[in-house]
Amino acid sequence: MLQPFLKRVHDKMLKETLAAGVAYLHEGVEPGDRRLVQQLVESGAVQLCVVAAELAWALAAHVHTVIIADTHVYNGKLHAYEQYPITTVLQMVGRACRPLEDEHAVAVLMCVAHHKTFFTKLLNDCLPLESHLDHRLHDHMNAEIVTKTIENKQDAVDYLTWTFLYRRLTQNPNYYNLQGVTHRHLSDHLSELVETTLTDLEQSKCIAIEDDMDVQPLNLGMIASYYYINYTTIELFSLSLTNKTKIRGLLEIISSAAEYSELCIRHREENIIKALAAKVPHKPSAPSGGSVKYNDPHVKAHVLLQAHLSRMQLPAELQADTALVLAKAIRLICACVDVVSSSGWLSPAVAAMELAQMVTQAMWAKDSYLRQLPHFTADLVQRCSEKGVETVFDVMELEDNARAKLLQLSPTEMADVARFCNRYPNVELTYEVKDERHLRAGKPIVVEVSLEREDDIVGPVIAPFFPQKREEGWWVVIGDPKSNTLLSIKRVSLARSAKVRLDFVCGSSGRHTYTLYFMSDAYLGADQEYKFTAEVGEAASDSSDSE
């Protein structure tokens, strides 16, 4: 009865154990295999399933008996074992429940002797739910200030009175370090919480506090709120990004984001990270006067990002970790673009845009653009290069017979290549400098850009190595490469056609040369670049203005 199911299993070892009636699940098991195992367990076709603790929340199957083999997990950052969160233990116990099939279920919890009393009380008594809003209040407060929900300190205190945190303060004051539950105690506690939070946000340059009462959002706060990133991350970007930052620096800065501080380090995993770090192009930098800590989550994120760009084969657990790193990477890169754009730096902004393309397609900028195409191995790319085929457009322009002869792919693989080529953006760009003959120093120069897509098929980005579905986006930028100055930038979502209006002020008269960039955030080789000149006259006097 199991044979038809076993044919659909990809993992060879899993197929062998399933044939003996035993299944296992861990982070590295493919989603298809995972669903199949859960179906077999629930149907009773498999009697025993060994599940890694990381999947406690992802496991959907309910069974008659659950055995929790331990309540501790290794923390690579601390080099010590720590106890599972209470909620995770309850989630594991909760898997033992089949009310439609069994009159009772069994949960066996194995723990060290001195924890027995604690777990007995936990399982028999109800677990109070407490708020952790006070641990994450900065980002919530920043978002509410950006949307003008909170405009002063009193608004912030009023905002907290509508939260679950406020309800629990009086119910469990010791948990929240309250000295009492009177109105005065509550008021003082909330005021101090708001004061501390807003002061931290002000020091991070996310908000401004006026007259010691009113609050205003600043540019960094708006960027953090828009991309939903931590306020300490945006402060790090502001302090670390410079007008000379390149791809290498961007990778280090993004890896240092607070979003990656919780990336898990497994037992002895630092040895694997160290071995990987020796193979990636940019070695992790050590803190001043010290050595690289390979059990640091930020070092791990840095190495995994580069391993992804190099398309290295990774163990199953590290593949799952890489997916987590990539899920946050694009937001962080876009935030970097906004931060350097606010400072008016062209070179690092273009570098960050290229990094977004690289992360999406799992490539380095120096790699052949053909590596984006499905089934294009290094040998196939080399063969195409020898025939003068360097870009995706070159592949599209080949005659059908010549293409089939050159690529030597199966019909299914050719269909994947055709699908990518049809989705690959081919955009015609035209631009016009408005009122070109009457430009004056100190007055805005307006450039109108028209974009028209030549291909009819618009849809999600085709990126086999990126773990999430992505919609493509574009940046239209005007800058001066000689002075490394970014003058104007707009983010565009392009369907069939779009018109973009950019404006900037030229401070001096004379002949100026500018560059217009049209940059993708998902595909390499689709960018466009145009140079144009502007004759700017002397600033008009007040009398001539009035005339």
Q: What is the DSSP letter of 152?
A: B
Q: What distance in Å separates the CA atoms of residue 517 and residue 75, rounded to the nearest whole number?
A: 46
Q: Smallest Cα–Cα separation from 485: which of 363, 342, 366?
A: 342
Write the burial class of residue 191 (CB in 10 Å: 0-12 exposed, 13-18 middle, 19+ buried): middle
Residues 6 or more apart whose Cβ sits within 8 Å of residue 142 = 201, 206, 207, 217, 221, 224, 225, 231
Residues 6 or more apart whose Cβ sits within 8 Å of residue 31 = none
Residue 383, number of CB atoms within 10 A of its CB: 15
Stretches in the chain below the pLDDT threshold 70: 289, 456, 540-547
Kind and range of the H or E run holding 65: strand 65-68
Q: Smallest Cα–Cα separation from 505: which of 484, 485, 530, 528?
A: 485
Amino acid identity at 368: S
Terminal alpha carbon distance of the chain: 93
Reading the block at residue 349, the tokens are: 């902004």
Reading the block at residue 22, the tokens are: 């035993």
Distance set, CA 308 to CA 34, 281, 293, 302, 328 (Å): 24, 12, 20, 10, 14
User: What pLDDT is recorded for position 542?
Assistant: 55
Secondary structure (3-state) at 199: helix
User: What pLDDT is recorded for position 206?
Assistant: 95
User: What pLDDT is recorded for position 541?
Assistant: 64
Q: What is the DSSP letter of 135?
A: G
Sign of the torsion angle spanned by Cα atoms 497, 503, 509, 512: negative
Residue 308, number of CB atoms within 10 A of its CB: 24
Residues 6 or more apart whose Cβ sits within 8 Å of residue 124 = none
Secondary structure (3-state) at 106: strand
Reading the block at residue 394, the tokens are: 């070159």
* Cβ-contact 172, 128 below 8 angstroms: yes
Q: pLDDT per residue over 100-148, tens digit each?
A: 888 899 999 999 999 898 888 888 887 778 899 999 999 999 999 999 9
User: What pLDDT is recorded for position 79?
Assistant: 77
Amino acid identity at 239: L
Sign of the torsion angle spanned by Cα atoms 376, 379, 383, 388: positive
* Cβ-contact 214, 201 below 8 angstroms: no
Cα torsion for 59, 60, 61, 65, to the nearest 10°?
A: 60
* Cβ-contact 76, 266 below 8 angstroms: yes
Q: Smallest Cα–Cα separation from 431: which of 307, 531, 326?
A: 531
Kind and range of the H or E run holding 299: helix 297-309
Q: Smallest Cα–Cα separation from 302: which of 276, 338, 330?
A: 276
Q: pLDDT per residue over 166-205, tens digit each?
A: 999 999 899 898 888 889 999 999 999 999 999 999 999 9
User: What pLDDT is recorded for position 547?
Assistant: 47
Reading the block at residue 351, the tokens are: 């570098």
